[in-house]
A = this chain, B = another copy of it.
């Protein structure tokens, strides 16, 4: 470098994009706790804690439950690469950017991928999925639970039934859903599910919680074609829960923070946490509609933690996001893939899912879009009314 760099002191921003979300002070404190080595008995004890907390979050008793040392994508790819041997048939349901990514990863793992597509902004076409599953007889079916590019929720019960029907392993991308809406991996009979440490789990990005059923784990152990070393789940599992044989140097600070984030979620209680996300998601949607904005997903398909809203004609996407960031210190997300420039993505995940944040966003966005004070007041009122009707146990 030609010149010495100044220290970096980030401003405090309200993170209302598609993730990461804001960190609870306890999570930030945990992150900066004194570093211990990855073979320290105290750290090995933490791994057991985190595995237990993750089992609760995933709704599973799977022994193979841990956090991969990478972001959500690393966890998804570790599961997909593990379940797919080259040439295996894979059916991937795609109705957004992240469904497409599942297909990309499955193909790179050597899978013969059949995509079942639905329009971006809708949930899966279950009849088309059933037809494809019966026709292809895939080894693996992969779906996204919460499609972060469109704000669409994918109900899993029928997908799980389709997978059972054709005896395929069902892999679910729970990157955006885990911690924000119900998931019962065991009741659904999922072969694998993977998520991320940030978003609704509320810790920093960099770890990928995952779980795999005993049956799927056994097939993983019996693979003939190697997976990438870094994503080799049996080796990672041996470090986490076996004889703790060294595989890689755990990002210990991130594990401190993940444990604290999961502790906060456990203290809040799973049902209350899901209700909180649902309440504030519904309030935001009501407020946005009152501002005259159109939400991409139909009401029945909407995610509680991520709302994709159409950018009104004639409005400058980047300019609006820049003003929100610079004047109000609020981050929202732009569109991905075919929705780039066409939607904004507003997240209410983890600590960010608070009524005050809904109000702030409506006020700030209303002002940037030059809505009248009256319209802004009405939007806030609409959001508040919806929140009130769902306010059992609110805080």
A: which residues have CB within 8 A of B? 1, 4-5, 7-13, 15, 17, 19-20, 22-23, 26, 28-42, 46, 49, 52-53, 56, 69-74, 77, 81, 101, 104-105, 107-109, 196, 198, 204-206, 226-231, 246-254, 256, 259-260, 263, 266-267, 325, 331, 333-334, 336
Contact = CB atoms under 8 A, between A and B. Distances in A.
B263 A5 contact: yes
B35 A20 contact: yes
Given A40-B325, A53-B5, A11 B31 contact: no
A249 B250 CA distance: 18
Given A8-B49, A77-B230, 10 more contacts: A1-B53, A1-B266, A10-B35, A74-B230, A105-B229, A108-B227, A109-B228, A196-B249, A206-B254, A230-B231
Contact of A74 (B32, B34, B70): B70
A33 B52 contact: no
A26 B8 CA distance: 11
Count of this chain's copies in the oligomeric assembly: 2
A8 B266 contact: no
Contact of A4 (B9, B29, B267): B267
Given A5-B49, A32-B28, A253-B31, A39 B20 contact: no
A205 B52 contact: no
B266 A228 contact: no
A254 B206 CA distance: 8
27 contacts: A1-B49, A1-B56, A4-B266, A4-B267, A5-B259, A5-B263, A8-B256, A8-B260, A13-B34, A13-B36, A15-B37, A17-B37, A19-B37, A20-B38, A35-B204, A70-B248, A74-B230, A81-B228, A101-B229, A104-B229, A105-B229, A107-B226, A204-B252, A205-B251, A205-B252, A205-B253, A230-B231
A96 to B, nearest CB: 13
A325 to B, nearest CB: 7
A324 to B, nearest CB: 12
B256 A10 contact: yes
Contact of A333 (B15, B39, B49): B39
A250 to B, nearest CB: 7
Contacts of A38: 20, 205
A339 to B, nearest CB: 13
